Structure formats: C-alpha cells, structure tokens
C-alpha cells in the first residue's frame, strides 16, 4: 500500500537471495571437493532448500556453478552500433566488450574462483564455451550487418570466434594471476596483438618487455 519497498516486492527479493545462495554454495563446494564429488542433494541441503527447488532455479548442476555468464544481446548490439563505422571491427568489439570486462572485474573474487574451478573441471568449461558460442552467433550477425556483408560470409564468423577466444584466454590468464594485472589491460594487449597479426614477442634472451605489444594504449582505453 504505502511503499512497495523497491517495486520489487519481498518475494522477488527472497528469490534473488535463494538463487544467489544456491549458486555460491554450489561454486564453493565444487571448488573444494570437485564437481563429481558433490551432489545436487548436498548443495541444496547446504543452501537450505529441497533438491526439487534447486532445479526450479537451475536447469543443471553445471549452470548453478557457472552462473549466468550470458551477455545481454541487446546491449552488445547497441554497443557495436554506437561505434563509428570507420573504426575497424576488432577495435569495435574491444570497446563492445568493455562493459562485460568491467562487470567481471568488479566481482574479482567470484570470477577468479569460478575460473579456477572451470580449469579443474573440463566439463564445466564446455558449458562455459557453449554460452560463449551462443554469444558468438549474436556477434557474428551484428558484425555482418555492420559491414554490410552477407550473413554467411566467412569474415564475421571468424572475427567473432577469434575475439571470443581471445577474451576467454584473457579471463584465464587473469584468474591464474589472481587478478593482479587488471583484466582490461590484458584484453587491450590481446586485442592489440590480434590487430597486429599476432606478431611474436621478443624472446627471453632479448632484454625487452614481456607483453606482445609495447604500446597497448594505441587502442582506445577510455570507457564509453
């Protein structure tokens, strides 16, 4: 009557809470005992709900562990459209990913653990990549439209797949380093390397910089 709290209602809030609890407990338990040494029953019990309820929130055990790492299609497309047509596709995608990257970085703790768990359980990686591929299709279509290329042209698909792969490895490296180096930097470097045709870095015996490109700033580093 008087106030609707946040227009969300207590019920919805509780749902969000339950979902979050379920997800994080799943992640933690799997991180500790391994994916196939933790049952849904155990997770649910630890989260204080029935196993049946677990499946009301997630369609699979994997999904609970991985979380909803799905990119918002509309947003992504909007981002792509927002960049001037004269900017090359790779650079455009990098800025389009900026938002996602920052989200991940904001939840550093969570994502580091998540990536580590994924690394130990290839089955989860599959699930993660599957999501990535779904996004890939969106990106492919968007890039094709942007460049005025036919839907089935090789180029958009290639760019989408390749940038996606780059992003994935950055995520991995970032988590492996426990988030010490900012993810944004890693992504910048990777995309710069891509745009430069993957030149080989100088070898160890050559006293130089570690990264592939000495000038990552060459690519847009400002946000939005």
User: Taking the complex as a whole, how short is the minimal distance between the CB of residue 147 and a copy of itself, in angstroms?
Assistant: 6
9 binds, among a copy of itself, DNA, none (CB under 5 to 8 A by kind): DNA
CB of 126 to DNA, least distance (A): 11
Minimum distance from residue 129 beta carbon to a copy of itself (Å): 5
Residues 86-125 that bind a copy of itself (CB under 8 A): 88-90, 122-123, 125
Shorter beta-carbon distance to DNA: residue 15 or 108: 15
Which region among 69-77, 95-103, 109-117, 197-205 touches a copy of itself (by CB under 8 A)?
197-205
Q: State in angstroms the smallest separation of the CB of 164 from a copy of itself.
A: 7
CA angle 130/149/156 to nearest 5° reads 25
Output the smallest distance, CB 136 to DNA, in A.
Answer: 23
Q: SS3 string of the chain?
A: CCCCCCCCHHHHHHHHHHHHHHHHHHHHHHHHHCHHHCCHHHHHHHHCCCHHHHHHHCCCHHHHHHCCCCCCHHHHHHHHHHCCCCCCHHHHHHHHHHHHHHHHHHCHHHHHHHHHHHHHCHHHHHHHHHHHHHHHHHHHHHHHHHHCCCCCCHHHHHHHHHHHHHHHHHHHHHHHCCCCCCHHHHHHHHHHHHHCCCCCCCCCCCCCCCCCCCCHHHCCCCCC
Q: Which is nearer to DNA, 26 or 166 (CB)?
A: 26
By CB under 7 A, name the binding residues for DNA.
1, 4, 9-12, 14-15, 18, 38-41, 49-53, 55-57, 59-62
What residues line the site for a copy of itself (CB under 8 A)? 88-90, 122-123, 125-127, 129-130, 133-134, 147-150, 152-155, 157-159, 161-162, 164-166, 168-169, 172-173, 176, 186, 189-190, 193-201, 203-206, 210-212
């Amino acid at each position: 009557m008087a106030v609707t709290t946040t227009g969300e209602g207590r019920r919805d809030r509780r749902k969000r809470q339950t979902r979050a609890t379920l997800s994080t407990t799943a992640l933690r338990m799997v991180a500790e005992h391994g994916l196939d040494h933790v049952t849904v029953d155990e997770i649910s019990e630890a989260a204080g709900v029935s196993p049946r309820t677990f499946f009301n929130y997630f369609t699979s055990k994997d999904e609970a562990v991985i979380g909803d790492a799905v990119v918002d299609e509309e947003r992504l497309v909007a981002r792509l459209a927002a960049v001037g047509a004269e900017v090359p596709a790779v650079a455009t995608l990098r800025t389009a990913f900026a938002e996602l990257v920052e989200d991940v970085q904001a939840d550093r703790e969570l994502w580091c653990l998540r990536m580590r768990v994924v690394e130990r359980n290839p089955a989860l990686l599959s699930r993660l990549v599957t999501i990535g591929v779904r996004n890939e299709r969106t990106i492919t279509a968007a890039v094709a439209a942007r460049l005025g290329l036919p839907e089935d042209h090789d180029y958009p698909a290639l760019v989408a797949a390749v940038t996606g792969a780059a992003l994935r490895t950055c995520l991995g490296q970032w988590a492996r380093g426990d988030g010490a180096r900012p993810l944004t930097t890693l992504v910048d470097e990777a995309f710069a390397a891509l745009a430069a045709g993957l030149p080989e870095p100088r070898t160890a015996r050559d006293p130089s910089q570690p990264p592939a490109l000495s000038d990552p700033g060459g690519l847009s580093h400002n946000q939005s």
